[in-house]
Amino acid sequence: MSQAIITIDGPAASGKSTVAKRVAQALGCVFLDTGAMYRTVTLACMTAGIDLRDPEAVLRVMDSHTFEFDQVSAKIDDQTVSEAIRDPKVTDHVKFIAGAPTIRGRLVEMQRRFAETHPVFVTEGRDQGTVAFPNAQVKIFLTADPVERAKRRLAELQARGLDQDLDSLVQAVNDRDRSDEQRDTGPLKAAHDARLVDTTGLTVDGVVDLILGHVRDLCPALFPSETA
Ligand code: DC
């Protein structure tokens, strides 16, 4: 198979990064965390002290730094920011970056450039199956109950020594869903040909197995030992 792109889209805290990483490991390929790209640009702009609502100023910040993403880290000018981009302040501000069509266009270009050098990869985000890679071979759309997603986010924050109350996290998850679903460019929505996977009540292993089942079904060539 010359190219196989597996897109995993879904709302905040639906478990996309964790399962995308595990699916990529199982397939022996790389994965792209596009949320990290939006977060990294947000952090660079916050550090530069510019108005995040001004897309021209954001594009100038993007032009004046180098951004690097690989499976495990995000970097701005060689400085690792993988932890810093998960700070709740960055999470709160990312909607300004995610809502601007010109900035989204620039990031989608970077994602497509990644595809030129990686024949098989898993990519996760909000618009990967709809906008960035409408011809992807496998499209997955993850969903999960908002309270369960807020609980997962709380566990993640607590593991990093941060605390927040569950009610405000449920509110934040719902707000982010609304802002992701309502933007005009690259809104959060399932591609018409996506396979839906509801992760409510499932373990990570369970979700990974379901997704690998869809990949096996749509791209048997990725499992050569089974088709030989
Ligand atoms: O998946 P995440 O929480 O790391 O994403 C951070 C933000 O980036 C999220 O609020 C929506 C935005 N995003 C986006 O608009 N499009 C993508 N492809 C990925 C993320």
Per-residue confidence band for 228, with pLDDT thresholds at 50, 70 and 90: low
How many A from CA of 144 to the centre of ligand 1? 16
Domains along the sequence of the chain with CATH: 4-215 (3.40.50.300)
Per-residue confidence band for 1, with pLDDT thresholds at 50, 70 and 90: low
Query: Which residues are 68's β-sheet partners?
Result: 75
Closest atom of ligand 1 relative to the 107 alpha carbon: 18
Q: For ligand 1, atom 5, which residue shows the shortest CA distance?
A: 35
72 near 13, Cβ under 8 Å?
A: no
How confident is the model over 117-162, as pLDDT tens digits? 999 999 999 999 999 999 999 999 999 999 999 999 899 889 888 8
Q: Which range, 172-176, 199-203, 207-211, has the best average confidence (pLDDT)?
A: 207-211
pLDDT value of position 13: 86
Higher pLDDT, 26 or 160: 26
Q: What is the mean pLDDT of residues 13-35?
A: 94
Closest atom of ligand 1 relative to the 9 alpha carbon: 18
How confident is the model over 96-122, as pLDDT tens digits? 999 999 999 999 999 999 999 999 999
DSSP string, 11-58: STTSSHHHHHHHHHHHHT-EEEEHHHHHHHHHHHHHHHT--TT-HHHH
How many A from CA of 125 to the centre of ligand 1? 6
How many A from CA of 216 to the centre of ligand 1? 27
Residues with CB under 6 A from ligand 1: 12, 34-35, 38-39, 94, 98, 125-128, 176, 180, 186
pLDDT value of position 227: 59
What span, in angstroms and rounded, lies between the C-alpha atoms of 227 and 223?
7
